Amino acid sequence: MRSERAYVAGLYKRLDAERARVKGEFEAALAGKAVSPMERDVEVRARAREMKRLDVADNGLCFGRLDAITGEHSYVGRIGLFDETNEYEPVLLDWRAPAARPFYVATGANPENMRRRRQFHTRGRQVLDFTDEVLGRPGDHERGDAALLAAVNAPRGEGMRDIVATIQAEQDEIIRLDHPGVLVIEGGPGTGKTVVALHRVAYLMYTQRERMERHGVLVVGPNPAFLNHIGQVLPSLGESDVVFMTPGDLVPGLRVTAEDPPEAARLKGSLKMLDVLKAAVADRQQLPDEPLPIQLKDVTVRIDAATAEWARDEARASGLPHNEARATFVEIVTYVLTERAIGRIGKGWLTRSDKEGWEDMRKGLLKELADDDSFTAALDQLWPVLTPETLLAPLYSSAERLRAAGADQSLFRENGDAWTVSDVPLLDELVDLIGPDKAADDAAAQATKKEQQAEAEYAANVLDSLINRQEHMDDEDHLFATDLLRAEDLADRFVEEDTRDLVERASADRDWTYRHVVVDEAQELSEMDWRVLMRRCPGKSFTVVGDLAQRRAPAGATSWGTMLEPYVPGRWVYRSLTVNYRTPAEIMAVAASVLAEFAPGVQPPESVRSNGVQPWSRQVTEAGLAAAIDEFVRDEAGREGTSVVIGPPGVPGTIPASDTKGLEYDAVLVVNPDEILADGPRGAAELYVALTRATQRLGVLHQGPLPRVMAGLTELDTAIA
């Protein structure tokens, strides 16, 4: 024990030395004078990332040791450290390094050329004790893991924890899988599919650093609570170039959480909406019912239906998006009107041979048309400049427009711009169908440039003020050099086009493309959602996480192949996780009876443990329900860990099961399960989700008889009236 403590203490000493070195390089980069501001910014960011990587290693820096049959041994930890005198000699293996893999996959039957695995139990920087597992003994086929059982039995905190010290063999195989396309990880509740996907991202960012770091990774989760829950896993592994979004965030500037009624959500999620959107755009390309008069100085010309139809046909035939095709429409209409005007004005004195007179008159007419408000208004009426919002909102709020686009009338709503999550992929699709509004984009660019200039002037004034202050200071006054450096850095960074970090830039840019995308609760995504995500990752490198049995979205996946084959035919692979690390066997037995009712062909995951705590139920009256919920909340407040009350819509003090997807709690109280079951066609899946959130304790309150599918609960005799 003494030698292990001394070795780990030496690792922390090496870590502190690395931190000091990188901090010095960071400060030198910050003060650099011989490089351009952009080069300095890149160097500063690189050193800052390195400091973050070293900072996350303090807790559990080294968690194990491998002893090879050759007599050599290696230490395994959160990051890699190298000998101070030999940068090629590791003193600590990064858990992602190939040499560290036996720590996770070696068993008695397959020792991977190892004779012993040692796991440290630490607190802070101190090694408390360790557990040894001898490998290679006949008859030993499974990995014994006291650390795993300690982790799964520990009280839950406010967020998901990494599992870097307790990765199991089936999880490690998925984390390190070398597949360039789409990997689908399916597993029932508690199988760790989310945390495995996040560790896979950390592994890819370690093995493909150069490829990944310039474009980053996108992680898509079902709701903000879920993203908050998982948000610290990757930073705890030293990876920060990751953008977290929900499906309602995928269009910059929108943060949508509202949901449509089931039928509207089903319709909007179908690929048939592509035809509706194209028809809705075409419907805004109008022909005049009556000729539109344009009064010029010497003549009145008219845009008639024949002219508009010719211009419309040519514009559509260009194949350009709506806003860009407007130029063709305007060009043809302008040509017709100028020809007609010249013919009338020059009749009797201007001939075709008089090219100079002809061109002079044309130039004058073109200027008149460009300055004429009625001409601009006519063009806007016949071929308006659109945005996704100004196309979709009027479509929803007009039964006539819906009919013209061939859309179902169930999509009608009074407030057309009351956006829902199902609208987000449609708005994103319209960006490509409609094209940019050049005038608006130019105005925005000018405004941004003006704002940057103002900020640069402010930063320069700050710098001048500090320099002047330094020049007039008394000896006893103090002005730190870092004050000047920060002010100068503030001024310099505004001369560059964009010095925001990757997460900021990617989140604000609809056209940003990622090197890898993780999609959690992927069974909830519609066909239209998948089009958005595939656009975000041209390389089609995905880790897809889900459980078809837990699907609640009407437009969600019924099979992985249906969703993925159109985009990556033959380039997606499927892996399943079968061990439940979260839910005790006692609770899983209750959930399994619900699963058998609505998905009889699905095998529930096998729980890794039994905790001896029997899930219970209690019947209450309507008047006693609130008191029973309060009693549960009070009892759990006195325990370590987390708890939640899940119920059907409208029950005070509860949250819906859909808001807890992917989350876990030490204790769960499910209220009125019969109402959850009855809430729509996917009510049984909702109840299954609710029952499988608990890691220790499960209770059920019911007013009527318990649903027959809920077997395995111990009914308490005490009732609350």
Would the annotation count 390 as a binding residue?
no
pLDDT class for 86, splitting at 50, 70, 90?
Answer: confident
pLDDT class for 87, splitting at 50, 70, 90?
Answer: confident
Q: What is the pLDDT of residue 500?
A: 74
pLDDT class for 687, splitting at 50, 70, 90?
Answer: very high
The region of weakest confidence among 113-127, 320-334, 463-477, 634-648 is: 463-477
Helices (H) and strands (E) in the chain, counts: 27, 21
Q: What is the pLDDT of residue 179?
A: 93
Cα separation, 313 vs 441, whole angstroms: 27
Cα separation, 614 vs 572, whole angstroms: 41
**Which regions of 537-640 does DSSP assign to beta strands (E)?**
542-546, 572-577, 579-580, 606-607, 616-619
β-sheet bridge partners, residue 671: 701
Q: Do the beta carbons of residue 265 and residue 553 sit within 8 Å? A: yes
Q: What is the pLDDT of residue 94?
A: 95
Q: Span 687-707, mean pLDDT? A: 95
Residues of the chain above pLDDT 70, percent: 87
Chain centroid offset of residue 399 CA: 35
Q: Spell out the long-range contacts of 492-498 with Cβ–Cβ below 8 A and sequence spacing 24 or more.
A: 492/37, 492/40, 492/41, 493/37, 493/41, 493/459, 494/452, 494/453, 494/455, 494/456, 494/459, 495/37, 495/456, 496/37, 496/38, 496/41
The residue behind tokens 């041209």 is 538
Would the annotation count 562 as a binding residue?
no
Cα separation, 64 vs 100, whole angstroms: 10
The region of weakest confidence among 29-33, 223-227, 437-441 is: 437-441
Is the confidence at residue 345, as pLDDT, over 90? no
Angle made by CA atoms 102, 105, 107, in degrees to the nearest 5: 100
Cα separation, 533 vs 540, whole angstroms: 9
Q: Span 580-591, mean pLDDT? A: 94
Nearest to 192 by CA among 611, 583, 591: 583
Please count the other Cβ atoms lying within 10 Å of the Cβ belonging to residue 489.
Answer: 19
pLDDT class for 719, splitting at 50, 70, 90?
Answer: low
Number of alpha carbons in the 13 Å side-chain half-sphere of residue 299: 18
Would the annotation count 190 as a binding residue?
yes
Q: Span 220-227, mean pLDDT? A: 94
Length in residues, the chain: 721
Q: Do the beta carbons of residue 590 and residue 713 sit within 8 Å? A: yes
pLDDT class for 667, splitting at 50, 70, 90?
Answer: very high
In one letter, which amino acid is 234? L
Q: Do the beta carbons of residue 221 and residue 662 sit within 8 Å? A: yes
Would the annotation count 80 as a binding residue?
no
Q: What is the pLDDT of residue 66?
A: 96
> What is the per-residue pLDDT across 503-556, written as a single tens digit (0 to 9) for each?
999 999 999 999 999 999 999 999 999 999 999 999 999 999 999 999 989 999
Cα separation, 431 vs 310, whole angstroms: 26
The region of weakest confidence among 185-189, 238-242, 317-321, 577-581 is: 238-242
Q: Where along the chain do the CATH 3.40.50.300 domains lie?
A: 193-251+510-577, 585-715
Cα separation, 211 vs 205, whole angstroms: 8
Would the annotation count 189 as a binding residue?
yes
Q: What is the pLDDT of residue 225?
A: 92
Is the confidence at residue 204, as pLDDT, over 60? yes
Would the annotation count 194 as a binding residue?
yes
Q: What is the pLDDT of residue 491?
A: 45
Instruction: Tell which wins on pLDDT, 451 or 405.
Output: 405
β-sheet bridge partners, residue 292: 303
Cα separation, 246 vs 529, whole angstroms: 11
Q: What is the pLDDT of residue 28?
A: 85
**Which regions of 231-357 does DSSP assign to beta strands (E)?**
242-245, 292-295, 300-303
Q: What is the pLDDT of residue 488?
A: 45
Is the confidence at residue 438, as pLDDT, over 80? no
**DSSP annotation of 707:** P
Would the annotation count 191 as a binding residue?
yes
Mean of per-residue pLDDT scores for the chain: 88
> What is the per-residue pLDDT across 145-164, written as a single tens digit (0 to 9) for each?
767 777 777 787 778 888 89
Would the annotation count 615 as a binding residue?
no
CATH topology of domain 585-715: Rossmann fold (3.40.50)
Instruction: Tell which wins on pLDDT, 491 or 261.
Output: 261
Architecture of domain 193-251+510-577 in this structure: 3-Layer(aba) Sandwich (3.40)
> What is the per-residue pLDDT across 456-509, written as a single tens digit (0 to 9) for each?
566 556 556 655 655 555 544 544 444 444 444 554 444 444 557 889 999 999
